[in-house]
Structure 1
């Protein structure tokens, strides 16, 4: 599918539909981001019911340097989604056997969606069991998830493994998203992916 030149600074890609599936789902029931496998997830407008990240607002952090840390802002990071294939690529790049989704706080592992992390912000996922999510775009890897991996593999040097994860997981870390329509999601659900028309502004 070729780009359609709109102007000197803009290009357009038409809307598209993709399809995939859910491999597994997880929930963080403790007091940190680590997740555990679940049979299914019940989601409302605040995210996953009973999950650590549930809420309509969150506190601004390093990802929002234009706000003072702790400023209440909309919670657009209610769920974390990753790709099975991309997790395998991260593990290979790090030289370790695997990166388990629960180690890095993933809630949903998807399959059969190529380059999942690179889906544009605003992409909508419709899950067979009824949930609808809107994605934020590339989720940048952080050292905290890297430290979690190091601890789970009993690494001698946590700092080296954490930095290795940040490097290896760039553009492979998955996406965060928020609930657009409340509903359920479970393993083996089919997923309909809808990418809106994209207009690229490049000066």
Structure 2
């Protein structure tokens, strides 16, 4: 049996390399939400967010059902919903489209809630980053959004004759699919509203 006490001894692990936290300025240039159970979103002027995310949105709710992203649970297990909102960046969408050899991927095709500008390599913002909006809303980032075939199928519907896109999208969008997060402080976000991203201290823990 593994002795967890011994495994955690300080002299058995390399000292983590730490990087200090930082603050970055960004802006939500466009906002989107679903209308019912559909995957794609529609552009709106504002988002009213509660602790359960967007009321009536496909990804709203305090909890959600486990799926293929959580193979350690039986499918359908009720778990905390850390995927209340989806954040994308125009430059990463353009890079994904270029990798697929298509003209463009619109944010609403792949279920965006917020289109973010001003943050380089948005998908690499680490977990626990806080997005503190001018109007008072705070979103907490859970992590990057792993691309799936459902989003690939949504893109393929706009490019007739490209049956390869659903599978190719998963590779092309890796580390370009944006972020998912949840509402830490509720309120309203208006289109064009600025925010401060508070990136926490980071380190790599290894042995």
Shorter-chain TM range is over 0.9
Conserved 8 A contact 2:123-2:176: yes
Compute the TM-score of the two structures, normalised by the length of structure 2: 0.91
Q: In structure 2, which of residues 156, 161, 164 is the aligned counterpart of residue 156 of structure 1?
A: 161
TM superposition outliers: structure 1 runs of 4+ over 4 Å: none
Report what 1:193 is aligned to: 197
**Is 1:67 aligned to residue 73 of structure 2?**
yes
Q: Could you report, residue by residue, the CA deviation over 1:7-61 in whole angstroms, capped at 9, with x for unpaired residues?
A: 7241111111111111100000131221000011000000012311110000011
Q: In structure 2, which of residues 111, 128, 151 is the aligned counterpart of residue 105 of structure 1?
A: 111
Give the whole-Å Cα distance in 1 for the aligned partners of 2:165 and 2:190: 32
**Is 1:90 aligned to residue 66 of structure 2?**
no
Report what 2:10 is aligned to: none
Report how many aligned residue pairs link the two structures.
195
Q: Could you report, residue by residue, the CA deviation over 1:120-146 in whole angstroms, capped at 9, with x for unpaired residues?
A: 011110112221100111111000100
Compute the TM-score of the two structures, normalised by the length of structure 1: 0.92
Report what 2:31 is aligned to: 25
Which structure 1 residue ranges, 5 or more long, are not aligned? 1-6
Which structure 2 residue ranges, 5 or more long, are not aligned? 1-12
SS at match of 2:184: strand
Give the whole-Å Cα distance in 1 for the aligned partners of 2:79 and 2:129: 21
